[in-house]
Amino acid sequence: MVKSKSFLAGSVILILALLLSVSITAFAAKDSEVTIGVQVEPSKLNPVTYQDTETGFVLGAICDPLIEVNEEGEYSTEGAVIEDYEIQEDGKVYVFHVREGIKFHNGEELTAEDVKFNYESFLDEDLASPHRGYYTEIEELKLVDEYTLKVILENVKVNFLTSARLRDHVFPKDYIEEVGWDGYEKHPIGSGPYKFENHKSGERISLSKNENYWGKEAEIEEVNFRFYPELSSLIMALQTNEVDYIPEMPADKFLSLRKQQNTGLSFSTYQKMEDHRISFNKREDSIFSDRRLRKAVAYAVNREELIALTREEMATPATGRVPGFHPASAPDAKAYEQDFEKSKELLKEAGYPDGFKTTIYAPSGYTERVTEAQQIARQLSHVGVEVDVKTLEWGTYLDATADGEAPMFRERWSGSTPSPYSFVEHWHPDSGWNAVFGTYENEEVTKLLDQIEKTVDQDKRWELYREVQQIAMDDVACYPLYWPLIGDGYNSELDVPENLWNVFMQPIYYINYWSFT
């Protein structure tokens, strides 16, 4: 078996056990039940088309991954649907050997035919997956036998396992063909440690333990995801034990609660493969098609001020897009420290000596992003740029930004490991994400991105990433703000399995490992 090696960043181990602070009486009443509180209700439980973190929370418990990543940052088959794999022809052919005996929640066996169907679904133009571009270089999906699938690519693609590993959710072919995608979204099934029970819109999604799970048996009987659009209500629910865990808390609330004593709560922090940034609509009919105006914005923004406002010590100013703990990070990329005079010079050069009016969009369900967008507007006012802050609910926000309605928008991107390719690939004109993030094309960047896909030598590949970021930052393809430190809050009486980690995905993918002390 050939594996693609990577790294393990120094301080990126994530405590995956979540803790419950209740009395012995309450334990009996809860009967091994955990409630997770989130602000945003999952958009739709579709593993092919979803774009929100919260849907990933739920589907990550229901479905199993095609392939895992271990503590050394290497691809691993432990806990994965495949028991072995091979990479042939330097990354042009991938052979997956599916474990025998894995059952979906409806009792049907998971086979290579299901994995093949998963790939076909991401390629299906009618489904219009925003991730489709990761799969378009597949030339042939060949069933070798019932448990072996060969994926043949048109060209060498060394990042294939990172970008096209089915988003860690393997789903059943026969069931979906029977009920359709609408039926699947109403009642999703997988082969994971938890089964879907029900979805009460506006209130909760409930899962129950899969008693016939092929892997490590879950110790929590029932998991509920409850939705609290108002952040204050969510925090109060944690404090009163109505909620047992809040993943990725707003930093100010996390810091405030952590400073309090004897709250019955516990906290953990971890670095994540994620960046926060300002994105621009760079289409020809947009004012920000002019690079000088994007630079003017960049010089007017003070990243440290934004961090102090919303995150304090829970973020690091970003230079380039790939987080600083990754070897592909670009510390020499242009960072655009605040300089109002340079900003005004660029505005004058571009024909706007008195500034202009524009709008920045932010998703209403994410308080930090809204607050930061408001502060960005205040900063830009110092150079004569009048900015209206427009907040939209998540689904409408996605449509507005992808359609080019938003001149600027406050964005977050979470990537995967070992490759950071998703942080740069949407600068390729053929990427499905290119239009979503405002379009961008630079011939030199395109050539470098093509080269990254074919470069087997890892050190050379990291250098190419740095070059791409240096060029794109000089163009202000976007303006990176910071890399976050993530904080989780939870009640204090669940077992903490120290040997578990998950630095780049979400901790509740591992709820099958939770147990009471």
* Mean per-residue pLDDT of the chain: 87
Taking phi over 0 as left and psi of -120 to 50 as alpha, with beta for the rest, 22 belongs to beta
Tokens read off for 495: 């077992």
Q: Which helix (H) or strand (E) holds 79?
A: none
Identify which of 422, 428, 465, 482 has the alpha carbon closest to the alpha carbon of residue 277: 482
Per-residue pLDDT, 280: 97
Q: Judge whether residue 26 has pLDDT over 50.
A: no
Residue 190, CB half-sphere, CA atoms under 13 Å: how many? 30
Side-chain-facing half-sphere of 186: CA atoms under 13 Å: 7
Classify residue 274 as exposed, middle or buried by CB count within 10 Å of its CB (0-12, 13-18, 19+): middle
For the entire predicted model, the pTM comes to 0.77
Secondary structure of residue 36 in the 3-state scheme: strand
Count of other CB atoms within 10 angstroms of residue 208: 17
200 burial via Cβ count (<10 Å: 0-12, 13-18, 19+)? exposed
CB 356 within 8 A of CB 406: no
Q: How far apart are CA 170 and CA 63, in angstroms?
A: 6
pLDDT, one tens digit per residue, over 412-468 is 998 766 688 889 999 999 888 888 899 999 999 999 999 998 898 889 999 999 999
Which tops the pLDDT comparison, 54 or 210? 210
> Collapsing DSSP states into helix, strand and coil, what is residue 431?
coil
> Is the confidence at residue 1, as pLDDT, over 60?
no
Answer whether residue 470 shows pLDDT above 90. Answer: yes
DSSP assignment, residue 169? -
pLDDT of residue 450: 92
pLDDT at 27: 32
Note the residue count of the chain. Answer: 517
Q: What is Dmax (Cα atoms) for the chain?
A: 70
Inter-CA distances, 340 with 296, 301, 307, 383, 384, Å: 8, 9, 19, 6, 10
Question: Domains of the chain by range and CATH?
Answer: 9-39+196-517 (3.10.105.10), 45-187 (3.90.76.10)
pLDDT greater at residue 409 or residue 5:
409
Q: Is the pLDDT of residue 108 over 80?
A: yes
Q: Which residues of 70-104 are buried (b: 16+ CB within 10 A; e: fewer)?
A: eeebbbebebbbbeebebeeebbbbbbbbbeebeb
